[in-house]
Structure 1
Amino acid sequence: MDLDPALTALRPLGGYFALRTVADAPRAPSGPLPTLAQTYDRTAPDGSPDPLDLRVRKVAAALRAPEARVAASVAHLGLAARLWSAALGCAVLYGRIPDLDPRLLRWDADAGAPDDLWLTEVRPLPGDTATLVDVVLHGHLEPLAAALRVRHRLATGLLWGNAASALAGAARELDRWARAHGRTDTGARTRSLTAGLFAHPLLRGTGTLTGGAFRRRSCCLYYRVPGGGVCGDCCFTRPPTA
């Protein structure tokens, strides 16, 4: 199935999966939103705030996070979930993915959740594991992790644990949708691609994937948010105490 210019097959899956594209011209950004490439490299348009810092501050205010690194981890998890969801959703439903080159993806860091992404050109690529690795892991999550390590001193293990959690969450949502709609082929392809991605060295040691359940070996720090508790895939069974 060929990609359509509006990636309409993603829309029934929900906001974490859907991508705005050039086909959504009436809803296209009115201003010069930075690309994710500019975000990672800190080369946002002159006069614009640093998008990553803006996002972290926004998350911190919304969650009343006690320190910036907690908000940075949660912001990272949200953006990773958007990238995995869109890419994996296309790979499963179309058998192909759009090129998500960071230079083609514009990001409104000041929007609400889920993160608002706009793909300026739909270029089809193969929907296999190797392409997903190149496009998402190497194209986005490595430079995003590097940027956050410099800005907020987040541990490498935490960041790759977040990436793994985001992938597992996207896969669970796809599998749930497939079951609800009797799409056994979609569920099987989701599980196959997800298993292949978790076999990659960057994700292999992040936790244990059992069916659709994932138990990570690191913590995203969400428990430090007032009333946050622990996530379903956290390495802790209860919030740590001081």
Structure 2
Amino acid sequence: MAAADEPQPPDYGRLAAVGPYFALDTGPGGTPPEGFRPLPELYATGPDAPLAARLRVVARRLGTAEPRVAASILHLGLAARFWSVGLGSAVLLGTVPTLEHAWARIPDQGPLDLWTPPEPANLSSVPLADQLHAAVLVGRLEPLAAAVRAAAPLSPRLLLGNAASALAGTLRVLDAHAPGRARALVAELLDRPPLAGAGTLRIGPRGTAFRRNSCCLYYRLGPGAGLCGDCCFTEPPTRAERTD
């Protein structure tokens, strides 16, 4: 039996209550459910890698013949998934999971399934913003960006814009749960490299707003696609105006 003063595993069930993007499953015995693979396999490259296979599915469902459009939208969703777990845990539980021993499963629909073996809460004295930078930006989003760029020709600037946009989107969800703490962490992360300059966060009495300095290419899905709420454009660009 664990001693009473030993750190206990965080209650990740509180994250799932926020929404599916925040969920982080765990369980006794250190054995993930069937169908899960070690998370690093997500970053593998090549035509048979899980990410490449998922990219083809996303392109087909979106009805686009441009792999980079599907790759950008896939990257944006995965970035939101990792930010939701990291920022949600930081804000609601006071700890940041590293996901170093996590496993993942790509479902047919919905966000990436994540599972981690039980481990004590991280009681490090390192500031939460630094922990988020190391665990999410460096630990998850850097290898993810490399894998996505191996599958489709996307610029680093666009992917940093996606990462910043996903972080701001996570904040909008958490704003109803712990606005002060969430806003401070996100503002600090957006103000330091590599996200500094990726967009502008505005915080006011009515909530938060973010406008990125790059485009995720969503408008290229077709004339009726429109623009995302935080797009750098005010209207879909013409062919002559495109900078992507």
Q: TM-score, normalised by structure 1?
A: 0.85
Give the match for residue 110 of structure 2. 113
| Aligned sequence identity (%) | 48
Q: How far off is 1:21 after superposition?
A: 1.7
Q: Does the CA contact (< 8 Å) of 2:11 and 2:93 recur in 1? A: no
Give the match for residue 29 of structure 1. 33
Q: How far off is 1:6 after superposition?
A: 5.3
Give the match for residue 136 of structure 2. 136
Give the secondary structure class of the aligned counterpart of 1:209.
Answer: strand
1:93 counterpart letter in structure 2: L
Give the match for residue 238 of structure 1. 235
Instruction: Report the CA distance shift for 1:23/1:15 in structure 2 as closer, same or farther (over 3 A).
Output: farther
2:169 counterpart letter in structure 1: G
1:111 counterpart letter in structure 2: D
Give the match for residue 97 of structure 1. 96
Summarize deviations over 1:120-168 as a string: whole Å, max 9, x none.
Answer: 3445324710010000000011111112222211100000000000000
Instruction: Report the CA distance shift for 1:130/1:136 in structure 2 as closer, same or farther (over 3 A).
Output: same
Give the match for residue 195 of structure 1. 187
Give the match for residue 4 of structure 2. none
Q: Does the CA contact (< 8 Å) of 2:73 and 2:218 recur in 1? A: yes
Q: Which deviates more from structure 2 when the two are superposed, residues 60-69 or residues 86-95?
A: 60-69
How far apart in 2 are the matches of 1:165 and 1:3?
A: 33
Q: How far off is 1:3 after superposition?
A: 6.4
Give the match for residue 242 of structure 2. none
Q: How far off is 1:106 after superposition?
A: 2.1
Q: CA RMSD in A?
A: 2.3
Give the secondary structure class of the aligned counterpart of 1:189.
Answer: helix
Q: Does the CA contact (< 8 Å) of 2:10 and 2:121 recur in 1? A: no
Give the match for residue 218 of structure 2. 222
Give the secondary structure class of the aligned counterpart of 1:214.
Answer: strand
Give the secondary structure class of the aligned counterpart of 1:233.
Answer: coil
Give the secondary structure class of the aligned counterpart of 1:96.
Answer: coil
Can you give the 5+ residue segments of structure 2 that lack an aligned partner in the other structure?
1-6, 240-244
Summarize deviations over 1:78-133 as a string: whole Å, max 9, x none.
Answer: 000000001100100111122222xx222223431222222234453247100100
Match of 1:210 among 186, 202, 214: 202
Q: TM-score, normalised by structure 2?
A: 0.84
Give the secondary structure class of the aligned counterpart of 2:75.
Answer: helix
Give the match for residue 60 of structure 1. 59
Q: How far off is 1:37 after superposition?
A: 1.3
How far apart in 1 are the matches of 2:29 and 2:165?
A: 30
Greater radius of gyration (CA): 2
Q: Does the CA contact (< 8 Å) of 1:3 and 1:98 recur in 2? A: no
Q: Does the CA contact (< 8 Å) of 2:45 and 2:52 recur in 1? A: no
Q: How many residues align?
A: 225
Q: Does the CA contact (< 8 Å) of 1:66 and 1:225 recur in 2? A: no
Give the match for residue 19 of structure 1. 24
